[in-house]
Structure 1
Amino acid sequence: MSTIIYPAPIFGPIHSRRLGVSLGINLLPADGKFCTFDCIYCECGYNKDFRPKQKVQTREAVREALEKRLADMKENGPSPDVLTFAGNGEPTANPYFPEIIDDTLALRDKYFPNAKVSVLSNSTFIHNPKVFAALNKVDNNILKLDTVDPDYIQTVDRPTGNYQVKNIIEGLKAFNGNLIIQTIFLKGTTDEGKDVDNTTDKYVLPWLEAVKQIRPRQVMVYTIDRETPDQKLQKATHEELDRIVQLVKEAGIDASASY
């Protein structure tokens, strides 16, 4: 399969389906994947296949590279809509993440004050007080909740450590609405033949109840867009995503779909 291993610490800009012109910030090693999930749909491949030899990015390296790139974009374009923490795994796993957020906000204000700062996170570090505080500072605190079904989580998201979805939901509620929930919906089977369709009421309705408890300011639902490590996964349809969006909106929460 083809996989995407992102340069570090800065990549792009790229056009994001959800966020617009996005300058990427990868806080993880440039030569492999470093993540607390090992999702069967991850465009970066499986953790075991891309073990990095380099270290995570330092605060100084990120700040210097980001300022250099923003200064160039200020002079030559394009103007970013968003500065997005993403890349080769879980950005909040970087031990310098809180300080890097402060540096990024300052540089954003200096060069492109209208740009948003976004973090794409799998939520596994939200109970760390410093990470929690840093996420509360950004414009788009985008946190993953693919399902509330523990078996599905182990099959599809495959956490590498102790992951209790009830604790994650409580942590998400603690943001008091200052977050965006991001959920992938897909169909098909694993390579071993296990069904992974989470578009049915069996999965959607319990997830929706959790979303109602969390009360995020927005929900982003999406489906696979690139080649995946498991080869038998399939995209959710437009109609399935639209149905889920409508259910969220009926609960009084803003929602959007990326197909």
Structure 2
Amino acid sequence: MSTILFPSPIFGPVHSRRLGISLGINLLPADGKICSFDCIYCECGLNGSHRPHLKMPSRALVRSELEAKLAEMAAAGQKPDAITFAGNGEPTGHPEFAQIVDDVIQLRDRFAPKAKISVLTNAFHILKPEVFAALQRVDNPLLKLDTVNLEYIEFVNRPQSRYDLERLVEKMKAFKGDCMIQTMFMKGTWEGKSVDNTSERFVGPWLAAVKAIHPKLVTIYTIDRETPDKSLEKASHEELDRIAARLREAGLECTVSY
């Protein structure tokens, strides 16, 4: 089992399939994973396999290291397309997430004003007022919604405490379109049970929810890196294209990463 763990608090820049040249911010420890989900396809591995021993980086450390990296890139004539909260788990779980967002906005405006600030989030914490407000201040809050089938979510995304799907979808609607939806489509099995979410049973209700949320962009993708279990499989180009066509027919902009 291969695992990708990211340095903390700043990594990259890396080339993102969805965001271009992206400078990463990892608010989680560099030696392990902390996440409110435990997705079976996570490139960082399963939560229980990689318990960290280090602490989360402080707000002051994130700010100082990001400032140094942006200054270095500017001196070299490099400007990132995106500054992206990602890394070893769920970034909005950091206790100083909202304050760090404000620091990142200030530094972006100073060093790379054209860069878009993105947050890759499983959306678990958007019911917290301070997290919701902070996500409204960034350019691209990418909210995970792999399905609206709660049984599938419990089996594949594996939230680590109570997951209120109905309230979360309503909160996604409260962004009033100023958000993005990110969805992983895949096939194969986990523990002998199918994890294929490309059929109408899953796509139809998901599409209805996405239409109600009406995000500015839907980004659909499939497995790109090694996963914790070898029995997971990529969705095909044809399946992703079929889903993308339905999104576009509904008047939604979308991107596809194969």
CA distance in 1, matches of 2:60, 2:77: 24
Which residue number in structure 2 is paired with residue 43 of structure 1?
Answer: 43
> What do residues 5-48 of structure 1 show as CA deviations (whole Å, max 9, x unaligned)?
11000000100000000000000111100000000000000000
CA distance in 2, matches of 1:134, 1:164: 21
Where in structure 2 are the equivalents of 1:20-35 lying within 5 Å?
Answer: 20-35=20-35
Which residue number in structure 1 is paired with residue 7 of structure 2?
Answer: 7
Which residue number in structure 2 is paired with residue 160 of structure 1?
Answer: 160
Which residue number in structure 1 is paired with residue 16 of structure 2?
Answer: 16
Which residue number in structure 2 is paired with residue 231 of structure 1?
Answer: 230
Give the C-alpha shift of residue 52 in structure 1. Answer: 0.7
Which residue number in structure 2 is paired with residue 60 of structure 1?
Answer: 60
Which residue number in structure 2 is paired with residue 69 of structure 1?
Answer: 69
Where in structure 2 are the equivalents of 1:116-135 lying within 5 Å?
Answer: 116-135=116-135
Question: What TM-score do the two structures reach when normalised by structure 1?
Answer: 0.98
CA distance in 1, matches of 2:236, 2:7: 32
Which residue number in structure 1 is paired with residue 203 of structure 2?
Answer: 204
2:252 is the alignment partner of 1:256:
no
Give the C-alpha shift of residue 121 in structure 1. Answer: 0.2
Letter of the structure 1 residue corresponding to residue 145 of structure 2: L
CA distance in 2, matches of 1:210, 1:226: 28
Give the C-alpha shift of residue 208 in structure 1. Answer: 0.3
CA distance in 2, matches of 1:230, 1:27: 26
Give the C-alpha shift of residue 77 in structure 1. Answer: 4.3
Letter of the structure 2 residue corresponding to residue 196 of structure 1: V
CA distance in 2, matches of 1:226, 1:110: 34
Which residue number in structure 1 is paired with residue 218 of structure 2?
Answer: 219
Give the C-alpha shift of residue 231 in structure 1. Answer: 1.5
Which residue number in structure 2 is paired with residue 78 of structure 1?
Answer: 78
Q: Which runs of structure 1 show a deviation greater than 3 angstroms over 4 or more consecutive aligned residues?
A: none
Give the C-alpha shift of residue 56 in structure 1. Answer: 1.2
Q: Secondary structure at the match of 1:30?
A: coil
Letter of the structure 1 residue corresponding to residue 218 of structure 2: V
Q: Secondary structure at the match of 1:61?
A: helix
Q: Secondary structure at the match of 2:137?
A: coil
Between stretches 179-188 and 75-84, larger displacement belongs to: 75-84
Q: Secondary structure at the match of 1:203?
A: helix
How many aligned residue pairs are there?
258
CA distance in 2, matches of 1:204, 1:122: 19
